[in-house]
């Protein structure tokens, strides 16, 4: 199985801050990585697919980068609606595996 190690597990930030979340895969997954945002009591929502492609409707302050085993999600200027938990997901091979999640909280 491919393990996805996500860091940090939580962070506190202020509106307007630049925030970066990272995911490390236990083996090369090419560009088969996506990012999801989950708000309390809600289903996750797609943010980014194929490492860096934004889903339709996702604000441009979100961006993704990386390849192989190291990936990151960056929010360039944190907005109030961005406080949520973020997950990476690898779909290079079964079983599909998620990172452990990063909870972004208000400082």
Partner 1 sequence: QLQLQESGPGLVKPSETLSLTCTVSGGSISSSSFSWGWIRQPPQKGLEWIGSIYYSGNTYYNPSLQSRVTLSVDTSKNQFSLKLRFVSAADTAVYFCARWQYGSGWHWGQGTLVTVSS
Query: Out of 36, 62, 71, 86, which residue is the one contacting partner 1 (CB under 8 A)?
Result: 36
Q: How far is the CB of 34 from partner 1 (least distance, A)?
A: 5
Q: How many residues bind partner 1 (CB under 8 A)?
A: 22
Burial class (CB in 10 A: 0-12, 13-18, 19+), 37: buried
Write out the binding residues for partner 1, residues 45-84 only, by CB under 8 A.
Answer: 45-46, 49-50, 55
For residue 80, which phi and psi values (nearest 5 degrees)? -55, -35
Asked if 100 and 7 count as a contact pair (C-beta separation under 8 A), the reply is no
Helix H segments across the chain?
none
Distance from C-alpha of 19 to C-alpha of 41, rounded to nearest angstrom:
23
Q: How far is the CB of 18 from partner 1 (least distance, A)?
A: 24
| Binding region for partner 1 (CB under 8 A) out of 10-18, 59-67, 68-76, 93-101 | 93-101
**List of residues contacting partner 1 (CB under 8 A):** 1, 34, 36, 42-46, 49-50, 55, 87, 89, 91, 94-101
């Amino acid at each position: 199985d491919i393990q996805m190690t996500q860091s940090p597990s939580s962070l506190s930030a202020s509106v307007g801050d630049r925030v970066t979340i990272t995911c490390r895969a236990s083996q090369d997954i090419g560009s088969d990585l996506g990012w999801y945002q989950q708000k309390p009591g809600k289903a996750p929502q797609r943010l980014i697919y194929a490492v860096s492609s934004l889903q339709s409707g996702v604000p441009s302050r979100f961006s993704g980068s990386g390849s192989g085993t190291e990936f990151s999600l960056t929010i360039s200027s944190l907005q109030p609606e961005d406080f949520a938990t973020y997950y990476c997901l690898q779909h290079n091979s079964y079983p599909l595996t998620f990172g452990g999640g990063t909870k972004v909280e208000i400082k």
